[in-house]
Amino acid sequence: MHQHLRRFRLLLAAAISSFGMSSALAADADHGADLAKRWCASCHVVATGQTQASADVPSFASVARRPDFSPERLAFFLLDPHPKMPNFPLSRTEAGDIAAYIGSLRR
Ligand code: HEC
């Protein structure tokens, strides 16, 4: 657990220096929405109006509303997925796009 947190901080530091704000701002949320529907909708509620998903998986809208949410952090989470989630062949750009899409659900 501790180890995991440490690794996360390192990733976060790398995110700030190499990935940075600007590429997250340049991310394409519409493309992210397409990717999310293709890759994530079997488990997550990806968009409002979706009726089927797994019961114990957080919806993207609820992920976006968390107080500690940030697209940069999410993009890095997606590059190093949670063990319960299958491994996705997401590129940095794709992870950034999905994060931008989820960020857009905040409003
Ligand atoms: C096979 C089912 C499955 C698929 C497909 C899936 N997820 Fe998940 N995801 C889960 C589960 C289960 C959790 C909850 C993990 C937990 O809380 O232990 C989760 C949690 C998350 C979380 C929240 C992590 C947190 O901080 O609690 C995010 C963000 C997320 N998934 C994003 C995605 C994205 C983006 C995709 C598509 C690229 C995706 N997931 C595809 C099953 C899936």
> Which residues, 6+ apart, have CB-to-CB distance to 79 below 8 Å?
11, 90, 92, 95
Q: Whose CA is nearest to atom 11 of ligand 1?
A: 57
Rounded Cα distance, 60 and 40, in Å = 10
pTM, 2 dp: 0.74
> Whose CA is closest to 53, among 61, 45, 63?
45
- Domain range list for the chain: 2-104
Which of 90, 68, 61, 93 shows the shortest CA–CA distance to 78? 90
- Tell me the CA–centroid distance for residue 17 and ligand 1, in Å: 26
For residue 80, the CA-to-ligand 1 centroid distance in Å is 11
Determine the CATH number of domain 2-104. 1.10.760
Per-residue pLDDT in tens (0 to 9) along the chain, 107 residues: 566 666 666 565 555 555 444 444 578 999 999 999 988 998 899 987 887 778 788 899 999 999 999 999 999 888 876 667 777 778 889 999 999 999 999 86
